């Protein structure tokens, strides 16, 4: 399902005012009938992208499955802030086992449901980038390869935030973390080769892979809806800015997520059976500098003096994404 095209948004932000729309066009999250899968009172930081992403995604999944859903969670912020003993924010059946095994626990749940003839109940596994692209990668790959009937959602905030902002395999080049500090001749994270979990997922040729950000609420919900209409292994990778780890203002979480997409840093697309089938085009391209500047984790790129070469390398990466995924409208087709 594609998110309905709504050309009725706030100037400058692309945020859509639900109140101005017909009820059927409103997002799941705007509806009174939403499940509140992860309900209020949890302990996430102000402006937490992950809390927001999980809320959108799980409520959409609950709507798509008529509330017949079980979730498995990797260790991480989402698990810790949602279940401070003896409280829980989860209004859905939810299990947390370990850091690296959420995809396998999900497989076990799906297998149990199959054995019990309860395939109407669907399974969502979820974790952060550390639990997904690093320590959970083997279990994730196994779940993909067997095509188990699981939607796995990675909430990517690009470092190990729960343990105090250490580098993960999803930490971008040059970013400052507690283990890639902004000191020495090459401050921040190394320029590695990157580790794109969505592309790895696509290499398994699973039925559905998609990326999304918390800036595009309807897009995220639509992708969850699509994913739940498909059987087999599905992967959704959601970029969720982390004010604490990124050194950004709490109020800027959505804006920064949007800049990640609009700069080409984070390509938003859908793929089926290993082939890209749709991309969210950049509406108004911005230089990566606009994305980097509001984040303290990149502050060393701008002062004491600008590290223009590093910024240029990051820009080149964004351009590569734009070319590879076709994120800009073809100028020949433009009017």
Partner 1 sequence: MLRQVEGSRAVAEAVAFCRPEVICAYPISPQTHIVENLSQLVKTGELAPCEFVNVESEFAAMSVAIGASATGARAYTATASQGLLYMTEALYNASGLGLPIVMTVANRAIGAPINIWNDHSDSMSQRDSGWIQLYAETNQEALDLHIQAFRLAEELSTPVMVCMDGFILTHAVERLEIPTQEQVDGFLPPFQPRQVLDPDEPISIGAMVGPEAFMEVKYLAHAKQMQALELIPEIAADFKDVFGRDSGGLIRCYRAEDAETIVLALGSVLGTIKDTIDELRQEGMKIGAVGITSFRPFPLDAVRGALSHSKRVVMLEKALAVGIGGIVSANVRMALAGIQLHGYTVIAGLGGRSITKASLRDLFTDAAADRLEPLTFLDMDWDVVNRELERMGASRASGPHAENILRDVGPVAAGPV
Nearest to 122 by CA among 180, 50, 65: 65
CB of 205 to partner 1, least distance (A): 17
CB of 319 to partner 1, least distance (A): 36
CB of 152 to partner 1, least distance (A): 13
CB of 42 to partner 1, least distance (A): 12
Cα–Cα distance measured from residue 66 to residue 30, given in angstroms and rounded to the nearest whole number: 17
Cα–Cα distance measured from residue 224 to residue 155, given in angstroms and rounded to the nearest whole number: 13
Instruction: Return the number of the residue (149 or 221) whose C-beta is nearest partner 1.
Output: 149
Q: What is the footprint of partner 1 within residues 70-109 (CB under 8 A)?
A: 70, 72-73, 79-80, 83-86, 88, 90-98, 100-101, 104-109
Which one of 45-53, 116-124, 176-184, 315-323 is the stretch in contact with partner 1 (CB under 8 A)? Answer: 116-124
Instruction: Return the number of the residue (233 or 314) whose C-beta is nearest partner 1.
Output: 233
Binding mask 126-165 for partner 1 (x = CB under 8 A): ------------xx-xx--xx-x-----------------
Instruction: Return the number of the residue (16 or 224) whose C-beta is nearest partner 1.
Output: 224
CB of 212 to partner 1, least distance (A): 25
The three-point CA angle 288-221-209 to 5° equals 70
Let me know: does 143 contact 106? Beta carbons within 8 Å. Answer: yes
Instruction: Return the number of the residue (4 or 67) whose C-beta is nearest partner 1.
Output: 67
Let me know: does 170 contact 196? Beta carbons within 8 Å. Answer: no
Please count the residues of this chain forming the interface with partner 1, following the rule CB under 8 A.
46
Other C-beta atoms closer than 10 Å to the C-beta of 21 total: 15
State residue 193 phi and psi, 5-degree precision: -95, -5
Q: What is the footprint of partner 1 within residues 31-70 (CB under 8 A)?
A: 67-70
The C-alpha torsion from 181 through 268 and 291 to 316, rounded to 10°, is: 80
CB of 28 to partner 1, least distance (A): 17
Cis peptide before 18 (omega within 30 of 0): no
Chain centroid to CA 268: 10
CB of 203 to partner 1, least distance (A): 15
Which secondary-structure segment (H or E) carries 201? helix 197-203
Cα–Cα distance measured from residue 242 to residue 158, given in angstroms and rounded to the nearest whole number: 9
CB of 121 to partner 1, least distance (A): 6
Instruction: Return the number of the residue (67 or 194) whose C-beta is nearest partner 1.
Output: 67
Nearest to 82 by CA among 165, 155, 187: 155
The token duo for 305 is 């003096």
Let me know: does 85 contact 115? Beta carbons within 8 Å. Answer: no
- Which residue among 15, 21, 30, 111 contacts partner 1 (CB under 8 A)? 111
Instruction: Return the number of the residue (55 or 96) whose C-beta is nearest partner 1.
Output: 96
Binding site for partner 1 (CB under 8 A): 67-70, 72-73, 79-80, 83-86, 88, 90-98, 100-101, 104-117, 121, 138-139, 141-142, 145-146, 148
């Amino acid at each position: 399902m594609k998110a309905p095209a709504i050309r009725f948004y706030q100037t400058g932000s692309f945020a859509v005012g639900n109140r101005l729309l017909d009820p059927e066009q409103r997002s799941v999250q705007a509806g009174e009938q939403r499940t509140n899968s992860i309900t209020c009172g949890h302990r996430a930081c102000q402006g937490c992208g992950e809390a927001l992403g999980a809320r959108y995604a799980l409520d959409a999944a609950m709507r798509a499955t008529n509330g017949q859903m079980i979730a498995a969670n990797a260790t991480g912020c989402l698990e810790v802030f949602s279940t401070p003993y003896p409280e829980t924010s989860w209004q859905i059946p939810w299990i947390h086992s370990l850091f690296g095994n959420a995809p396998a626990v999900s497989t076990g749940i799906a297998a149990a449901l199959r054995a019990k003839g309860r395939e109407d109940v669907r399974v969502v596994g979820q974790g952060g980038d550390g639990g997904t692209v690093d320590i959970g990668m083997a279990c994730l790959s196994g779940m993909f390869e067997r095509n188990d009937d699981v939607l796995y959602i990675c909430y990517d905030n690009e470092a190990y935030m729960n343990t105090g902002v250490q580098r993960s395999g999803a930490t971008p080049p040059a970013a400052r973390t507690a283990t890639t500090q902004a000191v020495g001749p090459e401050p921040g994270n190394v320029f590695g080769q990157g580790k794109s979990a969505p592309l790895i997922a696509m290499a398994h040729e699973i039925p559905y892979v998609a990326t999304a950000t918390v800036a595009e609420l309807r897009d995220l919900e639509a992708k969850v809806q699509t994913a739940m209409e498909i059987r087999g292994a599905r992967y959704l990778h959601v970029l969720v800015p982390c004010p604490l780890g990124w050194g950004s203002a709490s109020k800027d979480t959505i804006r920064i997520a949007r800049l990640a997409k609009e700069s080409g840093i984070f390509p938003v697309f859908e793929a089926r059976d290993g082939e890209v089938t749709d991309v969210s085009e950049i509406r108004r391209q911005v230089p990566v500098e606009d994305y980097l500047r509001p984040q303290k984790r990149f502050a060393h790129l701008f002062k004491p003096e600008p590290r223009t070469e590093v910024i240029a390398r990051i820009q080149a990466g964004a351009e590569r994404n734009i070319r590879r995924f076709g994120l800009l409208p073809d100028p020949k087709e433009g009017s």
